Amino acid sequence: MKRVNVRLSNEAEKVYVYLNSQAESSKVERSILKAINKKVELIKSNPHYGDPIAKSLIPKEYLREYGITNLFRVELPNFWRMLYTLTNDETEMEIVAFVLDIMDHRSYDDRFGYKHK
């Protein structure tokens, strides 16, 4: 069985560092950070854990920037989302779950072109 390695994009890492810095004083950020860590472990045990996003709905910026062919969504507390893609590492026998973004619900809606109420 292939090993699963989870990596963060620069954008996702910035959000992760921010949540980490705020977790001590904010219950909301702490709950989101705790959920991210838990979901990463779930992804390591089952790379297809998240909800698959239809190829036609993958934002063009992800296609351009990362050249992805699949996208999965994981729901987090307070309507936040974590988006990741799966790739094969060329040099090792492993699956790489590459976290592209961690965002609040409004940013998620904007990224996917959903209308706000």
Q: Where are the domains of the chain?
A: 3-112
Q: Chain centroid to CA 53: how far? A: 12
Pick the CATH number of 3-112 from 3.30.2310.20, 3.10.300.10, 3.40.50.300, 3.40.1360.10: 3.30.2310.20
| pLDDT over 90 (residue 115) | no
For residue 15, the model assigns a pLDDT of: 94
Mean pLDDT of the chain: 90
The pTM of the full predicted model, rounded to 2 decimals, is 0.87
pLDDT in tens, 17-45: 999 999 999 999 999 999 999 999 999 99
For residue 1, the model assigns a pLDDT of: 65
Average pLDDT over residues 7-22: 94
| pLDDT over 90 (residue 93) | no
pLDDT in tens, 58-92: 999 999 999 999 999 999 999 999 999 998 766 56
Average pLDDT over residues 46-59: 94
Structural contact between residues 73 and 51, judged by C-beta atoms closer than 8 angstroms: yes
C-beta pairs of 34-40 under 8 Å, 24+ apart in sequence: 35/76, 35/77, 35/80, 36/76, 36/82, 36/102, 39/74, 39/76, 39/82, 40/6, 40/99
For residue 40, the model assigns a pLDDT of: 95
